[in-house]
Amino acid sequence: MKNLFSDKKTIALLSVPSIAIIGFAILAPLVVSLYFSFMEWSGFGAATFIGMDNYRQLVLHDGTFYRALINTFLLMLVTIFLQNPFAFVIAAILTKLKDATSRFLRTIYFIPATLSLVVVTKLWVSIFNPSYGFLNKLLQGIGFQNMQIAWLSNPKTALGSVIWIMVWQGFGWALLFYYSGLMTVPKELEEAAKVDGANKYQLYTKIIVPYMLPVIQSVIVIDVISSLKQMEMVYLSTEGGPGDLTQFIAVYLYQKAFRYSEYGYGNAISVIFVILAVFLTIFIQRIFRERSAGKKRVGA
Amino acid sequence: MYRKIGLFALMLILATTVVFAQGAKESGEGETVVLRMGDNIPDRSTGWGAVIEKINKEFIEMHPEVEITTESYQDQAWQEKVKIYATANQLPDVMKYWSFSTLLQPLVDGKFVEPLNMDTFKQYGYMAGSLEGNVYDGELYGIPVSADLWVIYVNKALFEKAGVPLPESWEDIVASVPKFKAQGIIPMVTDGKDGWPLCEMFDNIQQRISGSFQPVADAIDRKARYTDDNFLQTARYIQNLVKAGVFQSDLVTSDYGASRNLFGQERAAMYMMGSWEMGLATDPNFSDSFRENLDVIEFPVVEGGKGNSNDLLAWFGGNYIVNAKSEHKDLALEYLEYYAKVFPAYAWETQATFPAQKVDARENDTIVAKKLLDIAADAKTTSGTPGLDRSTAAFKETHQDLMRRLMSNIITPEAFVAELDAAAEKAAK
């Protein structure tokens, strides 16, 4: 067996399927996308090579692209700095509750994550509807008679409403990760910290959070990726409007390619999009690696 | 170990072969010919969708070996789907589409559409100019299916409830807003999310102000500018309509179905849409009281403007085309001819839509159908293809996007006309 797996031919043979899959499913589309990003092409007929024009237009003149970037980063910040801490706190509380209560609440919190994106989006579009939506009716019911806010159409509330829908659905996943992570923290660690006189704040900040760092890292990477590729919810609720106030990169890319019939431009967005996603993922992993290396050095 | 790996590889190959062989068997074994169709009419039980299903059924009875599969989406989704199908060379055999240069021309240029014989279709009573709208480089590429008139549907009961007479001008509508709102009624709804109805309104208000549809065509052809005063006035006028509360408050996120339902469920007094919605008068999904109180009026005038109510924004948009690369092209062409032959009678009989072919008025036509016939007959001038569909796909999208911005009050009328003009300039190059 050992001889078999040290045989280079066998290794090469066994690597072929995975390399083929990576090549055809990941690298080939990227190369094709890169190729078309240098073209002016409507999707039909011949494509014209235009060099860096698409990138020049995108980087130097396209305000909507930057709006989409800002919105994407805003969503990332909200998920990382608001959704995550909140999910962590709720998960920590759940670990201290009785089993039955905890199980019941976990189920409740996780329900949005089990629903399809279409259902969740349509549900909230209905809730936000200014004419018959539950939210306006509720506000009117508690005394705000003049409340007739078009939550998804009003420039002041549209982005907040869209981000709320995303956070509402994503919360269950973050909670699940943190709850599972917290359940793996050894009781001895907590007890030892208590014996050493640590209070609850110190217990969490000095012991539990550092212990949970790999879980936090995973959740943040997932949040960043899901923020970047956010598409369906925006498409089904506002399609980036009003104007481009709720525009996100993936929706903008799709609209440019399939509505404006500017496939070359859409591909240029997708290339930038991939570079950005790779860069952010590496950046986050490096931050966590350095932190974890620092901790190890301190520990050593 | 090598034997085990070899055995595993063999099993993998066998499994793959079985899976693919199974697929080949299913598609090749039977004698059934599957004719793939597609359109923008998801409701197959009433109105236009039911008419198509009836035609399909009759065609299958004539050709028992044929099976028809149809996929339907709303307009925008269908247009995007067609682009994707065309890129992948997988267009349906026969499909409903649009004759506009923004949509049909790219397919024609890409040789995806089968040329048709003009003489064959001329005999089916098409209105003057309707077949010609589907001609590119001297060849007929589609058959028109509807005559599209831009009108306002009204619910007379809601007007009575609010104590408001039917409007003749947009100023009448603005004056009626407080009365409607006092009764909890939305004055007017339309599909703002897709944007194109807002563009139709832009062209129409422009005509009501300037007295002519020509400036739109001139601006596209660069003989005029969108920054000209008539367009700026139009943009200001439309933004003021929004500020006056004429439309539903979620206009720019309210799609076709949502706005149609608000009207059909008697939450809104007016519905700005095309004549293809004449089937509302017979739609069993809505209440009897709605259907009994449904009426239609001409697009109102602008007080002080030069346009009249009998200047009609009208065009022949929807069409049917055949995939030039279809494996069943002859059958698809035969279907198309059968469709051309029976559609006007069936569509009028069920009052499903306003066909592009001549129809005979009947005693029991709905009020809406009779009024639409009158509106068409009384028209002094007509617009032809709307502005957004006279240029490129990118111009169309920009126009729609700008209209949404204008009507969300996040762009000034001055900036709106400047950006629209820049888009027209870019498209003309």
Domain shared by B87 and B122, yes or no: yes
Domain shared by B155 and B299, yes or no: yes
B247-263: pLDDT as tens digits? 999 999 899 999 999 99
CB contact under 8 A, A260 and B107: no
Residues A96 and A106: their CA atoms lie apart, in Å, by 13
Q: Which of residues 199-258 of B touch A (CB under 8 A)?
A: 248-254
Domain shared by B413 and B296, yes or no: yes
Q: Which of B106, B404, B411 sits opposite A44 (nearest CB)?
A: B106
- Which are the contacts of A264, defined by CB distance < 8 A and separation ≥ 6? A36, A37, A38, A39, A40, A41, A47, A50, A54
Which residues from A are below 8 Å from B2, CB to CB?
4
Query: Which residues are registered as beta bridge partners of B312?
Result: B382
Residues A296 and B395: their CA atoms lie apart, in Å, by 59
Domain shared by B264 and B391, yes or no: yes
Query: Nearest-CA distance from A159 to chain B in Å?
Result: 13
Q: Which of B2, B250, B393 sits opposite A130 (nearest CB)?
A: B250
pLDDT given for residue A193 in this prediction = 87
Residue B8 resides in a domain:
no
Residues B298 and B310: their CA atoms lie apart, in Å, by 7
Residues A238 and A162: their CA atoms lie apart, in Å, by 8
Domain shared by B167 and B40, yes or no: no
B260 touches chain A (CB under 8 A): no
Lookup result for tokens 């998920």: A79
Confirm if B111 and A46 have CB atoms less than 8 A apart. no
pLDDT given for residue B11 in this prediction = 64
Residues A253 and A251: their CA atoms lie apart, in Å, by 5
- Whether the pLDDT of residue A278 is over 60: the answer is yes
- Whether the pLDDT of residue B8 is over 70: the answer is no
Taking every pair of C-alpha atoms in chain A, what is the biggest distance, in angstroms? 80
- Which are the contacts of B176, defined by CB distance < 8 A and separation ≥ 6? B162, B164, B167, B187
Confirm if B276 and B48 have CB atoms less than 8 A apart. yes
pLDDT given for residue B25 in this prediction = 39
pLDDT given for residue B415 in this prediction = 97
B136-183: pLDDT as tens digits? 999 999 999 999 999 999 999 999 999 999 999 999 999 999 999 999
Q: Which of B76, B186, B397 sits opposite A131 (nearest CB)?
A: B186
A34-47: pLDDT as tens digits? 999 999 988 777 88
Whether the model clears a pTM of 0.95, i.e. scores above it, the answer is: no
pLDDT given for residue B158 in this prediction = 98
Query: Nearest-CA distance from A293 to chain B in Å?
Result: 41
Give, in order, the Cα–Cα distances in Å from B278 to each of B106, B184, B294.
31, 26, 10
Q: Which of B5, B254, B393 sits opposite A260 (nearest CB)?
A: B393
Which residues from B are below 8 Å from A44, CB to CB?
86-87, 106-107, 109-110, 112
Kindly tell me the sign of the dihedral angle through the C-alpha atoms of A215, A218, A224, A229: negative
Beta strands, E only, B267-393: 268-274, 294-297, 311-312, 314-315, 318-322, 381-382
Query: Nearest-CA distance from B164 to chain A in Å?
Result: 21
Residue B239 resides in a domain:
yes
B351-371: pLDDT as tens digits? 888 899 988 888 889 999 999
Domain shared by B300 and B391, yes or no: yes
Confirm if B74 and B38 have CB atoms less than 8 A apart. no
- Whether the pLDDT of residue A60 is over 90: the answer is yes
B126 touches chain A (CB under 8 A): no
Lookup result for tokens 């043979």: A13
Neighbours of A84 (CB within 10 A): 21
DSSP letter, residue B304: T
- Whether the pLDDT of residue B121 is over 50: the answer is yes
Q: What percent of chain A has pLDDT over 70?
A: 95
The per-residue pLDDT of chain A, averaged, comes to: 89
B176-203: pLDDT as tens digits? 999 999 999 999 999 999 999 999 999 9
Domain shared by B242 and B166, yes or no: yes
Domain shared by B87 and B219, yes or no: no
B422 touches chain A (CB under 8 A): no
Sorted by where each begins, the domain ranges of chain A are 62-117+165-299
Record the tokens describing residue A77, joined without a space: 């910040």
pLDDT given for residue A300 in this prediction = 43
- Whether the pLDDT of residue B343 is over 90: the answer is yes
Domain shared by B303 and B269, yes or no: yes
pLDDT band at A297 (very low <50, low <70, confident <90, very high): low
Which residues from A are below 8 Å from B5, CB to CB?
10, 13
Superfamily of chain region A62-117+165-299: MetI-like (1.10.3720.10)
Lookup result for tokens 């001889």: A3
- Which are the contacts of B2, defined by CB distance < 8 A and separation ≥ 6? A4
Stronger pLDDT, B407 or B89, i.e. the higher one: B407
Interface test with B, best of A129, A131, A146 (most B CBs within 10 A): A131
CATH of the domain at B196: 3.40.190.10
pLDDT band at B9 (very low <50, low <70, confident <90, very high): low
Stronger pLDDT, B326 or B7, i.e. the higher one: B326
CB contact under 8 A, A261 and B392: yes
- Whether the pLDDT of residue A8 is over 90: the answer is no
DSSP letter, residue B300: P
A146-178: pLDDT as tens digits? 777 899 999 999 999 999 999 999 999 999 999
B306 touches chain A (CB under 8 A): no
Domain shared by B266 and B126, yes or no: no
pLDDT given for residue A194 in this prediction = 86
ipTM of the complex: 0.79
Range of the domain at B184: 151-314+385-428
Which residues from A are below 8 Å from B394, CB to CB?
260-262
Q: How many CA atoms lie within 13 A of A222 on its CB side?
A: 15
Residue A267's Cβ-count burial label (10 Å; 0-12, 13-18, 19+) is buried
Residue B349 resides in a domain:
yes
Q: Which of A44, A132, A152 sits opposite B107 (nearest CB)?
A: A44
- Whether the pLDDT of residue B27 is over 60: the answer is no
Q: Buried b / exposed e across A190-200, counting CB within 10 Å, b at 16+?
A: beebeeeebee
pLDDT band at B23 (very low <50, low <70, confident <90, very high): very low
CB contact under 8 A, A152 and B392: no
Residue B294 resides in a domain:
yes
Three-state DSSP at B294 gives strand
pLDDT given for residue B16 in this prediction = 57
Q: Which of A45, A125, A241 sits opposite B404 (nearest CB)?
A: A241
Domain shared by B304 and B157, yes or no: yes
pLDDT given for residue B31 in this prediction = 79
- Whether the pLDDT of residue A240 is over 70: the answer is yes
Q: What's the structural domain count of chain B?
A: 2
DSSP letter, residue B253: G
